[in-house]
Amino acid sequence: MNKNKDENKFVSQSRKGIERVYIGIFGRGNIGKSSLINLLTGQEIAIVSDEPGTTTDPVTKTVEIFGIGPATLIDTAGIDDLSTLGSKRFKKSIEAIKKVDCAILLIAGNQFGSYEIDLIRQFEKSNVPYLIVHNKSDISKIATYTKIFIRQYTNAKIIDFSTLHPTNKEELIEAIKEIIPENVYQQTSLIGDLVKPKDIVLLITPIDSEAPQGRMILPQNMTIRDALDNHCITIVVKETELEDFLKLNIKPTLAITDSRVFDYVAKILPEEIPLTSFSIVFARMKGDFDQYIKGISQIPLLKDGDNILILESCTHQISCDDIGRVRIPKLLQQFTGKKLNFSFISGLSEMPEKTTNFALVIQCGGCMITRKQLLNRIRSFIEKGIPVTNYGMTLAYVNGIFERAIKPFVKNKTDFSSKEQ
């Protein structure tokens, strides 16, 4: 009875959280990775075949796993394909490690060698917790000598398992739950530390060519919900009705606007009303906020011919008013008076090999990916000393309102000298 209560508590908590858990399945070819995914989901999601190379690029599937909750499973290609194409698949499998919260290293037939050791090193390098599952135990159970050899490299939990006869499926589910980081399911409030119950939160949301038909974009939706969860009085207006709202003589505790109308809103909204943007709010929750603030100081130092990398976290239709591909490049060149070169990466695509070519990296708010995924994709730039900043901060800076836009989040900091040059 207690076990069921704990399990139900785990699932209900996961449903409350903003994030879902990303679980990667890694291992050699034809050892049952796809079969394991089908077993965990109770669906024929992944193609199962004895033919080598059935799984090529990493395949993701978002599902609800009983006992775990909402999850995205990533089925990766075999790591032991030595062909030219296989090496490319291996590279993509390694890239997938940066996108997962935890991993299952699948082995079979008591095979454990350099391939698995390399994967373990990659897991540990990316701080990805993992367990080892010895599959096909109905054919060959894991041997004592295999366990002893594995223990030379890791203390990870080892489970003997069979996707064909999953008699200990509950043990596997429990083991997966144990390696899921606690922070995956923690509900992080976007503005909870900035407001109190009954405060008035004003959200300015333009409806233009970038707005999806008939609905709000995710950052707006999530901010509205977060304000309501914090028992705030929430008012939503388009920027074209902002002046009409101000005539009501209602003073908001906090105003949050879409970055693309930052300049317009800042001119209308009284200075005493704290103002920031949806992108900056998400930058604090998902990204490296302090690094973003430091990175903004690179803008006035940009030179002709500098390369700028724009990182989008989702894929979407490009419009003439696209904030990342059109508006930011245009405003940056106008602000600096320099001829700059822009590159764009959308979704969770691979980062360019020559990252040192970039003078500045500008990351979107990251509403469509997890904090871990976002931090992993900007970490290599930060480690190499390449300035990284955020969409909203960039737009605030070029519009001359950077200090105002980040003030709600840094008001308790004593050193503000590096925030704006």
User: Cα–Cα distance between 397 and 393 in angstroms, integer?
Assistant: 6
Residues of the chain with pLDDT under 50: 1-18, 46-56, 412-421
Look at residue 53 in the predicted model and tell me its pLDDT: 46
Look at residue 416 in the predicted model and tell me its pLDDT: 33
Look at residue 82 in the predicted model and tell me its pLDDT: 64
Look at residue 66 in the predicted model and tell me its pLDDT: 76
Look at residue 243 in the predicted model and tell me its pLDDT: 97
pTM of the model: 0.71
Distances, alpha carbon 340 to alpha carbons 85, 108, 161, 290, 331, in Å: 35, 52, 55, 25, 11
Residue 241 token pair: 């009705």
Look at residue 5 in the predicted model and tell me its pLDDT: 39
Q: Domains of the chain, with CATH numbers? A: 2-185 (3.40.50.300), 299-399 (3.40.50.11410)
User: Cα–Cα distance between 267 and 255 in angstroms, integer?
Assistant: 13
Distance of CA 138 to the CA centre of its chain: 38
Q: Which of 396, 375, 285 is nearest to 331 (CA)?
A: 396
Look at residue 6 in the predicted model and tell me its pLDDT: 41
